[in-house]
Amino acid sequence: MVSRIMRSRRQVPQQPEQQPRARWTNGVTKVFLDMMVDQVQRGNRISNSFSKKAWKHMSAEFYRKTSLRWDLEQLKSKYAVLRRQYAIASSLLERSEFSLDESTGMISANDEAWAAYIKVCSFCCFLQLKTSPALD
């Protein structure tokens, strides 16, 4: 009797291709912010997020304007980061020792004020180091 080796017809599920890491420059971030503002003005924001229709439109528009094909999760992740940064910047600007320099888009304060704030909120030091298109 000849024995046969049976091959499994089961297919191994393929891992989805990983997107390259998104590199968010100020220019690319500004394009994304402008698109979000447009969607808010069109009424496509539901509570604290955007409708599926808005996300689909922003994804297509983002590719058209930047030629970067980043997936929806990358855009949503950036949205979450921008919301956190905006909340932190807003609370910081409520303090009398901090102000927004309109010409640079940076939050300014003396070194002592920054040192005291960063002791309390160590992950907030990004605001001291760079401009934010979200504050324009």
Which is more confident, 87 or 131?
87
Report pLDDT for 16.
55
| Residue 129 included in any domain | yes
Q: Which of 61, 76, 85, 66 is nearest to 25 (CA)?
A: 66
Does some domain include residue 39? yes
Structure tokens at 111: 């070194």
Instruction: Give per-residue pLDDT as tens, 97-125.
Output: 999 988 888 888 888 988 888 888 877 77
Range of the domain at 56: 26-135
13 located within any domain? no
- Confirm whether 92 is domain-assigned: yes
Count of the separate structural domains present in the chain: 1
85 domain-assigned: yes
Unique residue bearing structure tokens 């009424």: 43
Whether residue 7 lies inside any domain: the answer is: no
Is 56 contained in some domain?
yes
Task: State residue 91's pLDDT score.
Answer: 87
pLDDT tens for each residue of 6-43? 554 555 455 456 667 888 998 999 999 999 999 999 99
- 21 domain-assigned: no
Q: Are 128 and 107 in contact (CB under 8 A)?
A: yes
